[in-house]
Structure 1
Amino acid sequence: MASGLLALLDDVAALVKVSAASLDDVPTQVAKTTGKISGIVIDDTAVTPKYVVGLDPKRELSIIYQIGKKSIINKVIYLGPAALLLGYFAPWAIPYVLMVGGAYLCFEGYEKIHSIFSKSAHAPDDQPTEAMKVITPEELEKERVGSAVRTDFILSAEIMAIAYSTVTESPLVNQILVMFVVAIFITVAVYGFVALIVKADDIGVHLARESANPTIQKIGRGIVKSMPRFLIILGYIGTAAMLWVGAEIIAHGLPFLHHPLEALEHALGGVPAVAWLVKVLVLALGGIVLGAIIAQLVALAQKLFKRSTAKTAH
């Protein structure tokens, strides 16, 4: 009886050791996952401030909180479990889901570049073709929050899918823990930084007050003056990250693209910084090309749909 109890205790101790060793891998896996999704995180951070610009400054933090809260709910309640279920029942579908998301990122990145360089996007139009819709500040805020949450949902789906792809060989407990930690950490980091960006003007004004030290005043004025340019640069970085990450996701899913990319990276391996830069440039250019192709297909589909609708109406 005693020997049986001792054997059981030995088994329990061994199980605890294995579990502890397995859980020790969680921080490493979280760090690895965070590195892989850095491009999407940059894009998410760069995109979100535009949804707050133009609204009541007193409501800015509340709006960011609403978006961040829904982002966490989407990741933890819907997207995380969906990735786990898909990985369990149809693991073969994960790469295709990732590539669809990557294609969307390329498309959206191309659309942003097209809107920047398109003359029609900046051409003044003093003759609106239809009456402008008048909405209240509350309705505008609700509309902005909804739009931001939809964009975040797509980016969050990519984040959770990539997070799952890094832990597919790990025990189930590790998978759940890593995805949960990544969901919370990334969301808090992104929206915490977004809040800092949005309120930077207020911080600068506070530092520049007359009662402050002259050096502090200078720093405050510098913050206020530099923020518009910083937001523009951040938008460019977000667009570049969108193209690069989207193209990289697709390249990893297609061996005939992945192998040449690896060969290029190895050829320049002697200078890691140059290898990384060349790889990013190649991926970004590839993302632009793919985004342009998808944009043409979308435009064609829209034309065919309009023709079909018009014929049905007549």
Structure 2
Amino acid sequence: MAGSSLFALIDDIASLLDDVAAMTKVATQKTAGVLGDDLALNAQQVTGVTADRELPVVWAVAKGSLVNKAILVPAALAISALIPWAIVPMLMLGGAFLCYEGVEKLAHKLLHSKGEDEAHHGELVKAVADPAVDIVSFEKEKIKGAVRTDFVLSAEIIVISLGTVAAATFGQRVAVLVGISIIMTVGVYGLVGGIVKLDDAGLHLSAKTGTGGFRGFQRALGRGLLTGAPYLMKTLSVAGTVAMFMVGGGILTHGIPPVHHFSEDLAHGAGTVSGIGGVLAALVPTLINTVFGILAGIVVLLVVTGVTRAVRAARPKPR
């Protein structure tokens, strides 16, 4: 009896871990849009920091990220335990915010010239090169800004993850949220650390001296890293923006039954096309989610802009 009870306990634990692993995988997939944007945003946060201080700054932000999640996870668990009906509205708000951020990024590209961005970058570089600038204070401001950005993105990740395990037991929710928090923090800031040091690695390899095929390969690899690092950042930024519309739009369409049913019916109809039905059935919902996400982001941006202007206009003007 004791032996069978032990095996039953082991089987229950294995099943629980399997369920947690499966739910964590789903949560990871659903938060991929936030992850891509998180990478691009946090890698950009160290712009203007001297090369030897890049990794310490990334590490400081990573510690701030863990503190953020240590606050957000208990708050999310308390909400799921005390007012579980609030999870869906929170999820919808998170999806709308993702779409808003994506449109805001596109609007920034359209409304700000390349010269303005280059001028801003030049100011950062000049600040670091100026011996009169307090580098410690400069770094602290960069870190504070990055941690604030991380708090918003972490909140999105936690809310999306919570939505995927809303029907699970409390223990499973704890395990998934803690697991996803650790995975995202290590994954994001590990990759950010690697990305910001790519140019240093490229410079080191390109400066290799000597003859032979291996040395030539190292120099070629170094030049490739130096050339490719800026394009990698741009690719991450574009992929992150697209993923934000896909994920945010997907959350919104699933939360609005008429839109969700329309998407399903359209995908079902596309699936009947001979030869490419399977591909179309997979692409149509993704396309609908993306388009809906862009439209929702535009609406939210217009509302936010209108409210901001109204508040500014209502403020008493200084005499």
Shorter-chain TM-score: what band? 0.7 to 0.9
AA of the residue aligned to 1:37? T
Residue aligning to 1:108: 101
Mapped partners of 1:92, 1:122: distance in 2: 48
State the SS of the aligned residue for 2:166: coil
Residue aligning to 1:197: 195
**Distance 1:300-1:168 versus aligned 2 partners, 3 A rule:** closer
Does 2:256 correspond to 1:254? yes
Residue aligning to 1:37: 31
- Once the two structures are TM-superposed, the CA of residue 116 in structure 1 deviates from its matched residue by 0.9
Mapped partners of 1:124, 1:218: distance in 2: 30
Residue aligning to 2:84: 91
Q: Do 2:39 and 2:188's aligned partners in 1 also have CA atoms closer than 8 Å? A: yes
- Once the two structures are TM-superposed, the CA of residue 245 in structure 1 deviates from its matched residue by 1.6
AA of the residue aligned to 1:249? I
AA of the residue aligned to 2:226? V
Does 2:15 correspond to 1:21? yes
TM-score (ref. length: structure 2) = 0.84
Alignment of 1:1-314 (within 5 A): 14-15=8-9, 17-75=11-69, 77-118=70-111, 122=115, 136-211=134-209, 213-269=215-271, 271-310=277-316
Residue aligning to 2:123: none
AA of the residue aligned to 1:301? V
Mapped partners of 2:118, 2:38: distance in 1: 31
- Once the two structures are TM-superposed, the CA of residue 166 in structure 1 deviates from its matched residue by 2.2
- Once the two structures are TM-superposed, the CA of residue 40 in structure 1 deviates from its matched residue by 1.4
Aligned residues: 299
AA of the residue aligned to 2:135? P
- My pick for the range that moved more, 81-90 or 292-301, is 292-301
State the SS of the aligned residue for 1:84: helix
**Distance 1:12-1:105 versus aligned 2 partners, 3 A rule:** same
Q: CA RMSD in A?
A: 2.7
Mapped partners of 1:104, 1:263: distance in 2: 27
**Distance 1:120-1:283 versus aligned 2 partners, 3 A rule:** same
Q: Do 1:115 and 1:121's aligned partners in 2 also have CA atoms closer than 8 Å? A: no
> Gaps (5+ residues) in structure 1?
1-6, 127-133
> Gaps (5+ residues) in structure 2?
120-126, 128-132
Q: Do 2:264 and 2:285's aligned partners in 1 also have CA atoms closer than 8 Å? A: no
State the SS of the aligned residue for 1:291: helix
**Distance 1:209-1:307 versus aligned 2 partners, 3 A rule:** closer
Residue aligning to 2:130: none
**Distance 1:65-1:273 versus aligned 2 partners, 3 A rule:** farther
Residue aligning to 1:131: none
- Per-residue displacement from partner, 1:116-155 (whole Å, max 9, x unpaired)? 12266756999xxxxxxx8633333222222221221122
**Distance 1:160-1:119 versus aligned 2 partners, 3 A rule:** closer
Mapped partners of 1:9, 1:211: distance in 2: 66
